[in-house]
Amino acid sequence: MIGGGITGAGVARDAAMRGFRVVLVDQHDLGSGTSSRSSRLVHGGLRYLETGDLRLVLEANRERQILLRIAPHLVWALRFVFPLHKGDRLSLWRLHAGMWLYDLLALFRNVRMHRMLGKRAMLEAEPMLRERGLRGGARFYDAQCDDARLVLATARSAMHHGALVANYTAVRSLERTAGRVVGAEVEDRLTGERATIRASVVVNATGPWADRIRTMEDTAAAPLLQPTKGVHILVDRSRLDHRDGIIFLSPIDGRVLFILPWRDLSYIGTTDSDTAESPDQLQVTPDEMVYLLRSANARFPSARLGLEDVRNAWAGLRPLLADSAAATESGRSREHAIVAGPGGMITVVGGKLTTYRSMAREVVERAVRELRFREGRPRGTETATDQEPLPGGETDDFTEFRARGLELGVVPESVEHLIRHYGTESAGIYNIGAVDRRLLRRLLPPHPAIEAEVLHAVRRELAQTVEDVMVRRIHLYFEHADRGVAAATRVAELMGRERGWADARIAAEAARYVEFARR
């Protein structure tokens, strides 16, 4: 299994739960590509109604309900408002019809039914919205997620069922026997060591890198992907002072955009533009940030956001299927495709985070057919990936975990942070802190992350570098004003305690993170 993003992790989990032996490798950290640079939404696909993708909306609504159930700490309901202003390309009656269809495709089992709002009700809901030209709109419900930690939880569930998972392990070439792909030569990018992994079936789930891996199998392989670039920016939430998630139409080009809450921050997104940029060197440009700022300012005029107000930004490549019939980048299909190359390697491309679980099931079914055809293998047991909770999601009642944290003296903000990140696994972090109460201290106040999380990340979550911890495990990189630079040395010290690093290595790891954050 090549690729440790959400799709690869989902495939590994599904296959391992069927009883197959699975090895998952990624050239970087798990989820460090597109899967941790998303819009952080598990959504029913309201905007896909415009393109007529009713099947995708139906599937997304079903998968959203499943993820809310099996990962309640990582996927949570979020209330939205959709204001419409004079000049918007969408009329109120079309929005109303779309909302009814949206609830219908959710089989009327959404978190709550939508409600149409007049101008006055919309301003009561979001007082800072631009009043001039406001016609009204709708209130509806969708779901938000912690994308990076959802990848980790899915990969760790696969490990629980016997999968072997290795990050920072790059595929350098594919192994062949009689023209068939039967494994890969891999390199440990931290040590330089190389090894060969044999496999009956190789799956390529590398997202925007998929075509690059396919050329290892077939140098003449025609590209399957036409990626689009999605940019998001973070600003202080107080500047916009919004209460709910906001979905709106940009007055610049009519594109669907959103403003979403994230602790005391808001993130604004997303662009959706074709790009030839490499996924290894993706950059956020000032023009892209200005576009998002201008669009937000048009709907929240008192915010007066400028480039100097951008706290952080991220960009990801959506590995979308090439679609010459699409009129716009936003209109390009979010469907996925599963193809087999001349050497038998299975590649999955396209799709979206929300439907990763069902997409993974299809990939494993394809692999099972290959195994039966080539080796006469049995089908494998049926999986319950829609029933078994992800690690930390065994319950949605975290009362006893809140009480335990407060009893140990953890500040309330940190208790809520731990529950949101780890769910029931917060108990394991409390246990680390109970042995050494100093580990219950916050790493960098006022951010709620505590020192014990670093040890948990190394012991249980495959964290190899300070960046892994700061960016994708505890999110200090995104949520602290200086990207958590002041905590880099302490994080490196804690990691060094677990890894047995010498003082020079600890200093080097901290310095590497500081350079990464400043760059």
Q: What is the pLDDT of residues 488-519, one digit of tens each?
A: 999 999 999 999 999 999 999 999 999 999 98
What is the structure's pLDDT at 379? 60
Q: Are strands 346-350 and 203-204 parallel, antiparallel or unpaired?
A: parallel
User: 139 or 321: whose pLDDT is higher?
Assistant: 139
Mean pLDDT of the chain: 94
Tokens of 22: 């699975």
pLDDT band at 254, cuts 50/70/90? very high
What is the structure's pLDDT at 46? 84
Q: State whether the Cα torsion 246-250-256-260 is positive or negative.
A: negative
pLDDT band at 57, cuts 50/70/90? confident
pLDDT band at 327, cuts 50/70/90? very low
Tokens of 246: 């906001």
- Condensed to tens digits (0 to 9), the pLDDT of residues 18-51 reads 999 999 999 999 999 999 999 999 998 887 887 7
- Euclidean distance between CA atoms 181 and 170, whole angstroms: 17
pLDDT at 326 over 50: no
pLDDT at 324 over 60: no
Q: Where are the domains of the chain?
A: 6-31+148-224+332-375, 64-143+226-318, 399-518
Letter string b/e over residues 282-316, b meaning 16 or more CB atoms within 10 A of that residue's CB: bebeeebbebbbebbbbbbeebebeeeebbbbbbb
**Segment (H or E) for 102:** helix 92-105
Of 178-187, 316-325, 425-434, give the lowest mean pLDDT range.
316-325
What is the structure's pLDDT at 49? 85
- Condensed to tens digits (0 to 9), the pLDDT of residues 84-96 reads 999 999 999 999 9
Name the region of 51 (left: φ>0; alpha: ψ -120 to 50; beta: rest). alpha
Amino acid at 143: A
Q: What is the CA radius of gyration of the chain?
A: 23
Which spans in 36-86 are helix H?
54-70
What is the structure's pLDDT at 242? 97
User: 379 or 417: whose pLDDT is higher?
Assistant: 417
What is the mean predicted confidence (pLDDT) over 421-433? 98
Pick among 3.30.9.10, 3.30.470.20, 3.40.50.300, 3.50.50.60: CATH of 64-143+226-318: 3.30.9.10
What values do phi and psi take at 246, rounded to 5? -115, 125
**Segment (H or E) for 96:** helix 92-105
Burial class (CB in 10 A: 0-12, 13-18, 19+), 326: middle
What is the structure's pLDDT at 45? 82
pLDDT at 430 over 50: yes
pLDDT band at 380, cuts 50/70/90? low
pLDDT at 331 over 70: no
Starting at the earlier edge strand, list the strands of the sheet with 346-350: 203-204, 346-350, 336-340
- Close Cβ partners of 457 (under 8 Å, ≥ 6 residues apart): 463, 468, 469, 473, 474
What is the structure's pLDDT at 56? 87
- Euclidean distance between CA atoms 15 and 371, whole angstroms: 12
- Condensed to tens digits (0 to 9), the pLDDT of residues 390-405 reads 999 999 999 999 999 9
Which one-letter DSSP state was computed for residue 118? -
Of 137-146, 275-284, 424-433, 499-508, give the lowest mean pLDDT range.
275-284
Using a pLDDT cut of 70, give the percent of the chain over it.
97
What values do phi and psi take at 170, rounded to 5? -95, 140
Write down the residue that tokens 């140990």 correspond to: 408
pLDDT at 272 over 90: no
Which one-letter DSSP state was computed for residue 319? -
- Euclidean distance between CA atoms 267 and 316, whole angstroms: 14
- Euclidean distance between CA atoms 246 and 105, whole angstroms: 22
- Establish whether the linkage from the previous residue to 446 is cis, with ω within 30° of 0: yes
User: 25 or 330: whose pLDDT is higher?
Assistant: 25
Which CATH code fits 6-31+148-224+332-375?
Answer: 3.50.50.60
- Euclidean distance between CA atoms 468 and 462, whole angstroms: 9
CA 286 to chain centre: 24
Which spans in 285-425 are helix H?
286-299, 356-375, 399-408, 412-422
What is the mean predicted confidence (pLDDT) over 108-132? 93
- Euclidean distance between CA atoms 422 and 475, whole angstroms: 13
Amino acid at 413: E
What is the structure's pLDDT at 108? 72
What is the mean predicted confidence (pLDDT) over 392-420? 97
64-143+226-318 and 399-518: identical CATH topology: no
What is the mean predicted confidence (pLDDT) over 217-225? 94
pLDDT at 292 over 80: yes
Asked if 73 contacts 419 with a C-beta cutoff of 8 angstroms, the reply is: yes
- Euclidean distance between CA atoms 27 and 165, whole angstroms: 12
- Euclidean distance between CA atoms 182 and 174, whole angstroms: 8
pLDDT band at 334, cuts 50/70/90? low
pLDDT band at 105, cuts 50/70/90? confident
What is the structure's pLDDT at 325? 46
Superfamily name with CATH number, domain 399-518: Alpha-glycerophosphate oxidase, cap domain (1.10.8.870)
What is the structure's pLDDT at 381? 67
Enumerate helices (H) and strands (E) in the chain, giving the number of each. 17, 18
- Euclidean distance between CA atoms 435 and 432, whole angstroms: 6
pLDDT at 239 over 60: yes
